[in-house]
Amino acid sequence: MKPNPPREIFIQGLTRAGKVFRPSDWAERLAGAMSCFRPEGTVGAIGARIGYSPYCVPNTIDGVKCVIVNEALRDVEPMAWDFVMNFARDNDLQTFEACLLPDVPTQ
């Protein structure tokens, strides 16, 4: 039996009441705090000032800031996973499970 791939949890920059979460750079700050948690043997991009972890990446979807957290972070560092999930809960942010699909090239 093939193991299930890790899930991705999207933390949106919207509270459950629908208000935009502040400060406006919260997603970059949260992902930056998680930047040291990486797969074995990987490093940030050459010349990058900030190299985000592939387990915790800031993004903007439909104009809403979010952080995409890969469940594999739980296996790498359970305390980091708890920190990110507790951040979302403590700030009453909307979360959902989804899969970010790559952009399809247009021809």
**pLDDT score of 102 more than 70:** no
**pLDDT score of 34 more than 80:** yes
Residues in Cβ contact with 50 at an 8 Å cutoff, skipping those fewer than 6 apart: 28, 32, 35, 44
* Strand 56-61 with 8-15, pairing: unpaired
pTM tops 0.75: yes
**pLDDT score of 77 more than 60:** yes
- Mean pLDDT across 85-94: 97
Residue-range domain boundaries for the chain = 8-39+50-98
Contact 60, 24 (CB under 8 A): no
- Mean pLDDT across 61-84: 94
CATH top-level class of 8-39+50-98? alpha beta
The 10s digit of each residue's pLDDT in 5-26 is 668 999 999 999 999 999 999 9
